[in-house]
Chain A
Amino acid sequence: MIEIYLRLVDKILTPVILLIAIFLFLRGHDLPGGGFIAGLVAASAIELTILARGTQATRDRYGPLAVPLAGAGLTIAVGAALLGMYNGGFFRSIWLEFYVGEEKLKLGTPQLFDLGVMLVVIGMAITYLLRLGEAAEAAVAQQSRLSSQTKEPHR
């Protein structure tokens, strides 16, 4: 029964959580948030999916993304640092500022770097959450087998 509720929650909340992650990421440079936090928020969405649907379904959905995400994140982070070479050295920041209507927007290589951080965190989180979830399921399966094998009641 719990899982049915959780599935509903998962269906509604996961997109919301992911949106919050994006929101936290975007405002990160000026207000609390940033790539690391956004990555953790996204990871919590994945954990919700694991709780609701089990590891197998989650692995089917997110599993193939894990290592590519971590790899892409590292590549983006290094790429952002490399872009700084254009401005005089590795990791020198470059900022672009422009206006959309009245709003001043800015984009810079540190934010790109932050994006890399977020992707690495998500990739790492997927790998380990799934791994731990599977370990838990394995333990459950083993225990149910043991209890059905031994006739005597569990102490």
Chain B
Amino acid sequence: MPALAFSLVILFTFAPILWLLKPHRSPSFAWLAVLPPAVITAWQALQLPAVAQGNFIAERYVWAPTLGLELALRLDGLALFFGLIITGVGACIAFYTAYYFEGDPRQGFFYLVLYGFMASMLGLVWADDLLTLFVFWEGTSITSYLLIAFKSDYKGATEGARRALIVTTAGGLAMLAGMVLLGLHVGSFHISEILAAPDIAAASITPIALVLIFLGAFTKSAQFPFQFWLPGAMAAPTPASAYLHSATMVKAGVFLLARLHPAFSELPLWFWTLFLVGGFTMVLGGVSAIRYTDMKALLAYATVAVLGTLVMLLAFREEYAYEAFVVTVLAHALYKAPLFLSTGIVDHAMGTRDLRRLANLARIMPLVAVTVVLAALSMSGVIPTMGFLAKELMLEQGFQRIEHGDGLVGGLMYAASTLAALFMAGAIFTLTWEAFFRRQPDEQPAHLHHAPSLGFVAPALLLTLLGTLGAFFTGAYENLLFAPTIAAISGEPISLKLKLWHGLTPVFLTSLAVLALGIGIFALRNRVRQAFARVPEKFSSLAVYDATVEAIYHFAYRLTTVIQGSPMAPQVSVTLLAGVAVMVYALFFPSPRTSVLLDSLEIPSLAEWLIFALAILGALATVRARSRLSAIISLGVVGITVTLFFIVFGAPDLALTQLLIEVLTVILLVLVFFRVRPDPFVEIDKRRAFRIFVAIAMGFFGFTVVMVNHFAQIGESISPYFLENSSSLGKGTNVVNVILVDFRGYDTLGEITVLGLAALGGYALLRSPQIHKLRRRIVAARSASEDGAHPVSSIKQEAAEMGHD
């Protein structure tokens, strides 16, 4: 049974159904919405034993066989591990959303995007083809953009969303280039084949491909210096933030690195890049989290820290690092999602999530307080939680390195991990204490709007309890869930024995010290915040990014004013000269295979001579015309003579198209210019010589290029193929049409996509407020002038402003 594809189809089709059902009208909707991800989670859980045995499920759907495109899915340990987290947490988020957007008409649309995102994410981790993975990867970028920009009336949301989109898609493009390099080198885009390819790590293209893929993974997973988009993405509605930043979107980059780990991890490039970038990101995110009083921003920086940790752990090829990786991924999903969800509940109930205005919430919402405390314990790594286990394993990895004589790497790792961990502990203690337990807030206290219902809290509580209990019963599932994942990352089967209690080892003592120092930071939290407030903003990568974007806009503006800011004629000159330059290049640097066959020159017939003459006459008349209108009409004559050429040479379709375009443009130009009173049609003699030069150069080189193209043929002509097969393969006798819609359908699809986008662009232009304002003024001016009164005097000003913008 094609269960994998079926799951994706269910999610994709369920999305619009949820939307159409108008869920905000029915309160019990949560149960329906939770169904698809819950079912897929259950199905995946049933696959655990088989996958743990080393089996996997693979499905392939051919898309375009001649191009080698297909949808390839493969469920192995790693895919299953991430898939379970995606749908499992996704089910909780879907349930939560029903309460978060209760009665809000946008709820349906949120479900639509959320499910689209979930399906993309699931496809991404299940993909067994680099191109399939890329398509789903971009799918998550686009749907996450919609999720972040969901509150589109709030400026921060659209800005944050655009930033996230630009950064992640730019990285995605670099990644695509890297993937293509890899795929072409191996001769297959299947991930399983690339990983199995011999000597792939030693190939000459590998360093370039890896760096490009790193760019994709690092931008997606918010690694330094790209981490700045993640806090900006906190403008998303809380369920989206909880989902994107605990379990899914940002884990995509980490997932990709884990996926490629078996083939490339032996390279020094791999180790040092991941180790340094991940380690630095971990420290940066961990240390700066406490600075923020917005609960979501604090959690966002903590997320950056965890992502750094995961990337750093993937640098290693040792067992402790693998164990730390999988435990951290699971622990993070199970504590960060509840923390975000609780933040959303607080925001919902109190109207704010600013710590300065919150206090003593434990009394109002005890269940939320329980959730947050349990999650916070896991996040800060207090014994005996899953977070503690993760931290212990990570420190153990560093310790092992030191013991084996690699003091530099081990020591760096040990120091960075403890530094990040103690600041994170301080940050989350601060959040928990200030929001839930202290008596008085710093500033004007927020008031309770309405207390959260049980269903609202339930998903967060469920996830936390899973995370808390999970730490005690690792023996029950470690070889089902963790071992196959590690086997997929490392490339070798493994058997696990995780223990919460290792005895009084140096690592355990370090953990205790981290906790003690974390409490110290918590005690000094106001001092720490003040110290942070003194760090200037302009060194942040956000400032660098904003400056870069600003510079690009500025450059584009300057370039546009130079090229297009002037009257029409110089603009056309620039365009035509650029064309001439290209043609000169094409003529004088031809490819070596061209052979000029000048022998097939024919003498034109009388009719053709006549049309030539007509065309030249029309062109001359255009140039000599004394008014715009006559210039337009004689230009039309030139066009129509071209139509005649097509008729003479037996191309009725081209003739029809040309004729229609000609008629449409002439009428349109007449429409524009006939109504506008003619400006004085002055000759500007100053540039006359230059313009004549441009015109002659264009005509001469255009003619030459056409001639050379006609007579110099590379390879065999493909026209006979079309003529012969049009009616047998294409079932049509109009060869032009058969080529357009069948033989070269891809071309046409591309063209009409451009046309469709152009229509959309024109539509957007028409809807822009400035045009509307102008149109209103025009109507006002017209009615005013009809009344004989003075018309509104600001139209010109308005038009001038528009020109400037």
Which A residues have a C-beta under 8 Å from some C-beta of B? Answer: 24, 28-37, 40-41, 43-44, 47, 50-51, 66-67, 70-71, 73-74, 77-78, 81, 85, 88-91, 93, 95, 106, 108, 110-111, 113-114, 116-117, 120-121, 123-149, 154-155
Contacts and interface: CB of A to CB of B under 8 A. Distances in A.
Contacts of A128: 758-759, 762
B325 to A, nearest CB: 38
Contacts of A43: 660, 664
Contact of B795 (A30, A78, A134, A141): A141
Nearest to B742: A110
Given A91-B746, A124-B756, A145-B792, 19 more contacts: A34-B734, A34-B736, A41-B660, A43-B664, A70-B756, A71-B756, A74-B752, A117-B741, A120-B759, A123-B756, A123-B759, A125-B664, A128-B759, A131-B762, A135-B672, A138-B778, A139-B675, A145-B781, A149-B791
Contacts of A145: 781, 785, 791-793, 795-796
Interface stretch (B40-48, B57-65, B365-373, B717-725): B57-65
B799 interface: yes
B156 interface: no
Among A106, A140, A143, chain B packs the most CB atoms within 10 A around the CB of A140
Given A32-B656, A145-B791, A155 B680 contact: yes
Contacts of A117: 740-741, 748, 752
B745 A110 contact: yes
Contact of A121 (B740, B755, B793): B755
A70 B759 contact: yes
B753 A74 contact: yes
27 contacts: A24-B656, A29-B733, A34-B736, A40-B657, A51-B671, A67-B759, A73-B752, A77-B752, A88-B65, A89-B62, A110-B731, A110-B745, A111-B741, A113-B742, A120-B752, A126-B759, A127-B759, A127-B762, A127-B763, A132-B672, A138-B775, A142-B778, A142-B799, A144-B791, A145-B795, A145-B796, A148-B790
Contacts of B736: 32, 34
B791 A37 contact: no
B656 A66 contact: no
B70 to A, nearest CB: 10
> Do most interface residues of chain B lie in helix, strand or loop, or is the interface mixed?
helix
Nearest to A123: B759
A32 B734 contact: yes
B755 A70 contact: yes
B65 A89 contact: yes
Contacts of A51: 667, 671
Interface in B661-712: 661, 663-664, 667-668, 671-672, 675-677, 680
A64 B781 CA distance: 26
B732 interface: yes
Contacts of B748: 77, 113, 117
A4 to B, nearest CB: 17
B572 interface: no
Nearest to A121: B755
Give the top 3 A-B pairs by smallest Cβ distance, nearest first.
A127-B762, A29-B732, A32-B652
A41 B661 CA distance: 9
Contacts of B755: 70, 120-121, 123-124
The secondary-structure label for the interface of chain A is helix
B737 A131 contact: no
Given A124-B755, A138-B774, A110 B667 contact: no
Contacts of A34: 653, 734, 736-737, 740-741
Contacts of A108: 731
Nearest to A129: B668
Nearest to A135: B672
A86 B54 CA distance: 34
B526 to A, nearest CB: 55
A82 to B, nearest CB: 10
B760 interface: yes
B733 A31 contact: yes
Contact of A137 (B667, B778, B796, B799): B778
A125 B758 CA distance: 10
Interface in B751-805: 752-753, 755-756, 758-760, 762-763, 765-766, 774-775, 778, 781-782, 785, 790-793, 795-796, 799
A120 B749 CA distance: 11
B16 interface: no
Contact of B741 (A35, A67, A137): A35
B243 to A, nearest CB: 29
Contact of A67 (B738, B760, B782): B760
